[in-house]
Amino acid sequence: MTDQRMLWLLHSNTERPQPQFTMLVVDGADALRAESAAAAAFERTGAPRSWLGASSAVRRRLVGECRTVPTVELIHLADEKPGHASAQSFQLSLAQIAEEGPLASRSGAGSQQVVMALTTVPPGVPPTAAEAVRAVLGRRFAGFAGPTQWPGLRTLTALTNVVCQETATLDLADDEDLLSIYDQYSVGGLSTDF
């Protein structure tokens, strides 16, 4: 990765009545360091399937170890509108993230290229995933990361998706709240404007 690129890792969970999308954004200049820190954290302590089902000690250990992962932003969106197909929710979430996320908020980010890593792809989306990403990012799309690239960051993104779903209405202590590792994050619903 280079300074001129950003790495976007998108995790989709469409198994719930309300599809959930979590985007982790890492600056290209920090990508290798971020991957190394995330991989080391999960090598020492495996990612639990449930955040609330994990012991307090596991939550505290992972939060402490993941604080060293350099990130730009974390965005979590829930599609609360019934009736959207997985492919439609996927495209709408990408559009909202591109409109409101790091490309819009960072100085000079509008010209940065984006490498996309899909940690999961919703059913029915695979044939159109590349098309949807290209439609949203246009010339900024630099390609997809390979399926075996960035395993530590993919695990962090997937775990953050679980945390956002399980703790949406809870207040956890900072040392047990995975969201506290991110300097900038937003958790909300998919806008009706998209």
Give the chain's end-to-end CA distance (angstroms, integer): 31
Residue 36 lies in a domain: yes
Residue 194 lies in a domain: no
Residue 32 lies in a domain: yes
Token readout for 167 is: 């703790």
Structural domain count, the chain: 1
Q: What would the pLDDT profile of 25-84 be if each residue is shown by its tens digit?
A: 999 999 999 999 999 999 999 999 999 999 999 999 999 999 999 999 999 998 887 677
Residue 29 lies in a domain: yes
Q: Which residue segment(s) compose the domain that 180 sits in?
A: 5-189
Residue 88 lies in a domain: yes
Could you tell me the maximum CA-CA distance found in the chain, to the nearest angstrom? 45
Going by C-alpha positions, the residue among 64, 59, 72, 140 that lies closest to residue 101 is 72
Residue 156 lies in a domain: yes
pLDDT at 189 over 60: yes
Residue 98 lies in a domain: yes
**CATH number of the CATH domain containing 116:** 3.30.420
Residue 183 lies in a domain: yes
Output the average pLDDT for the chain: 86
pLDDT at 184 over 80: yes
